[in-house]
A and B are shown apart, each in its own frame.
Chain A
Amino acid sequence: MSKLLEIALGLVTGIGGFLEAGSLATSAQAGASFGLQLVWAIALGVICIAFLVEMAGRLAAVSKHTLPDAMRERFGIRFFTIPLVAVVLVSFLVLASEIGGVALALQLATGIRFQWWAPVVAIAVWLLLWAHNFGLVEKGASLLGLVTLVFVVGALKLHTPLSQVAADLVPTLPKEEPAKYWFTAVSIIGASVSPYLFYFYSAGAIEDEWDESYLGVNRMVAGLGMGFGGAVAIAVLAAAAMVFHTRGIQVDQYEQIPLMLAQPLGWWGFILFVASLGIACFGAALEIALQIAYLVAQGFGWKWGENIKPGQAARFSLTYTVAALLAGLLIFTGIDPLKLTIFSMALTALSLQVTVVPLLIIMNDREYLGDNVNHWVANAAVLFVSVLACIVALVAIPLQLLGS
């Protein structure tokens, strides 16, 4: 496949694949509660994830190692268990959130409560992974995910003041409800900098057999893909801001949320909202279940791969099977998917140090990357955002928990 086509495909993946339960929920909540004020949080998260995704791709292309591979080898089994456990736990909660998102979309479409959809969705996720076609997962989900561009249409139709959006790229202090403001900011960053994004990306680079000649493609895909994806998230925030915040509407029920697109786009808005929610979350669920399996299998040296028959990589397949089914079970218990989503995003932000610092150390190791080690800007950007997110999360999460 020509490099240009790869870039185009990567862009589509970035746009279509960026939005999922986490970014949808956190951006919508931010817009509804604080208008356009928190646009900077999305921008900060996007910058951070763009650097991280580029790093994961570069690591795979140059060293032919995936991230979990390299982490086990570089740090030894003892230190490896810490990020292993942290990422698996957090990813599991995010996976459950995604399944919850699909279930919610189905509830909005049919009226049947999300709990009953949870096992159906979990099995559907499993079935598609069982079909062992990585291309299908990677590209199919992202192409369909382009439906989320409807948020951009909606935000524009609502006459979102673009100059205000640009102005709010600069961080500002909250005028009211500071605990909720910072908690929401931190959840947004957690939603953008989800570890599953760069873990999955590194496995994908190996599955697609990238080498050093793909470094340019990698940079373009990471930068533009995440950038445009972030723009869609900003559109979600803007739509929520224009529909809810400007009218002072408090969102307490799920049935209200599609209003943000139904308002500007009518009946089609509602349909496309439900479709976007369902498709975006389903795609993310596929990727996260796979990513958990990649992490465990690569960390322990098991046979792995999404393009081979499940029986050929039995432990790997068992891992994503168990992950998907347990996550479905969690939603089946009736736990509020929206609350779970926002909480797991905040947890992601809190655990960023554990998930990101090992990657940074490896990215500066010449044994793995030769001359392609990190530029100091990349190190600084990622360190800054992750430390910031961690500190803010440490303060905001308890405050929010106490408050609610």
Chain B
Amino acid sequence: MQVGQALLDQQVIDRNCEQMGKVDGVVLELGKGKPPRVFTLVIGGGTAARRVHPGFARWLVRWRRQWGPKDDHPLEIPWSKVLKIGVDIKVDLEAEHTPALAWEHWVRRHIIGRIPGA
């Protein structure tokens, strides 16, 4: 299995099969004399933007800090929480309780939720 192919940019779903986002980053743990270990999967918080263009990412982070949810930071999912790697990556978390859906909640509360019928 390849780290980039199997993990990076893959869809993440929570234990209820709700969509959480894409894997924007993977953290490796290095140890002396030991092979690097897959440590955490990172979702959101501007992580993907950094891969596109660092300058754009910096601008985006500033913009996000001004507008948007207060708990808008990257979600780091420890490897131990990963349940299954297949069509999607299933993790043993509840999406609603993680910052992965910070923006979803913010949009729901401030924009979409205000319109009748939502």
Chain A residues with CB below 8 A from B24, complex form: 77
Contact between chains at B107 and A315 (CB < 8 Å)? yes
Which residue from B10, B21, B22, B113 sits with its C-beta under 8 Å from A311? B113
Please provide the chain A residues from 315 to 333 with a CB less than 8 Å away from any CB of chain B in the complex: 315, 317-318, 321
CA distance in complex: A52, B41 (Å): 34
B81 beta carbon closer than 8 Å to chain A: no
Contact between chains at B118 and A311 (CB < 8 Å)? yes
- Nearest CB to that of A73 among chain B residues? B9
Known A77-B24, A318-B111, A321-B112; 16 more pairs at CB < 8 Å: A65-B87, A72-B22, A73-B9, A73-B11, A73-B22, A77-B48, A78-B51, A78-B52, A130-B115, A300-B48, A304-B19, A314-B104, A314-B105, A314-B111, A314-B112, A315-B104
Given the interface pairs A63-B87, A130-B117, the reply to whether A314 lies near B107 with Cβ below 8 Å is yes
| Size of the chain B interface, CB-CB below 8 angstroms | 29
B55 beta carbon closer than 8 Å to chain A: no
Please provide the chain B residues from 83 to 118 with a CB less than 8 Å away from any CB of chain A in the complex: 87, 103-105, 107-108, 111-113, 115, 117-118
CA distance in complex: A337, B113 (Å): 33
A contacts, CB < 8 Å to B: 63-65, 69, 72-73, 76-78, 80-81, 130-131, 300-304, 309-311, 314-315, 317-318, 321, 367
Contact between chains at A301 and B19 (CB < 8 Å)? yes
Given the interface pairs A301-B22, A302-B104, A303-B104, the reply to whether A76 lies near B118 with Cβ below 8 Å is no
B33 beta carbon closer than 8 Å to chain A: no
Which residue from A130, A300, A315 sits with its C-beta under 8 Å from B22? A300
Proximity bits, B32-73, A CB within 8 Å = 1, else 0: 000000000001000010011000000000000000000000
CA distance in complex: A69, B9 (Å): 9
Given the interface pairs A65-B87, A314-B108, A314-B112, the reply to whether A301 lies near B20 with Cβ below 8 Å is yes
Contact between chains at A314 and B51 (CB < 8 Å)? no
Given the interface pairs A302-B19, A310-B117, A315-B104, the reply to whether A76 lies near B87 with Cβ below 8 Å is no
CA distance in complex: A300, B108 (Å): 17
Contact between chains at B87 and A309 (CB < 8 Å)? no
Contact between chains at A77 and B104 (CB < 8 Å)? no
Contact between chains at B9 and A76 (CB < 8 Å)? yes
B12 beta carbon closer than 8 Å to chain A: yes
> Least Cβ distance of B1 to chain A in Å?
11
Chain A residues with CB below 8 A from B107, complex form: 314-315, 318
Chain A residues with CB below 8 A from B8, complex form: 76
Contact between chains at A73 and B118 (CB < 8 Å)? no
Which residue from B51, B104, B117 sits with its C-beta under 8 Å from A76? B51
Given the interface pairs A73-B10, A315-B104, the reply to whether A301 lies near B87 with Cβ below 8 Å is no
Contact between chains at B118 and A310 (CB < 8 Å)? yes
CA distance in complex: A65, B103 (Å): 24
Contact between chains at A314 and B113 (CB < 8 Å)? yes
Given the interface pairs A77-B52, A310-B118, A318-B112, the reply to whether A302 lies near B21 with Cβ below 8 Å is yes
Proximity bits, B1-38, A CB within 8 Å = 1, else 0: 00011001111100000111110100000000000000
Chain B residues with CB below 8 A from A303, complex form: 18-19, 104
Contact between chains at B112 and A69 (CB < 8 Å)? no
Contact between chains at B18 and A311 (CB < 8 Å)? no
- Nearest CB to that of A299 among chain B residues? B22
Contact between chains at B112 and A301 (CB < 8 Å)? no
Chain B residues with CB below 8 A from A301, complex form: 11-12, 19-22, 43
- Nearest CB to that of A297 among chain B residues? B19
22 A-B Cβ contacts within 8 A?
A72-B9, A73-B11, A77-B24, A77-B52, A81-B52, A300-B48, A301-B20, A301-B21, A301-B43, A303-B18, A304-B19, A309-B118, A311-B113, A314-B104, A314-B105, A314-B107, A314-B112, A314-B113, A315-B103, A318-B107, A318-B111, A367-B5
Chain A residues with CB below 8 A from B111, complex form: 314, 318
CA distance in complex: A318, B115 (Å): 11
CA distance in complex: A73, B87 (Å): 10
CA distance in complex: A69, B21 (Å): 11
CA distance in complex: A81, B57 (Å): 14
> Least Cβ distance of B41 to chain A in Å?
12
Contact between chains at A311 and B112 (CB < 8 Å)? yes
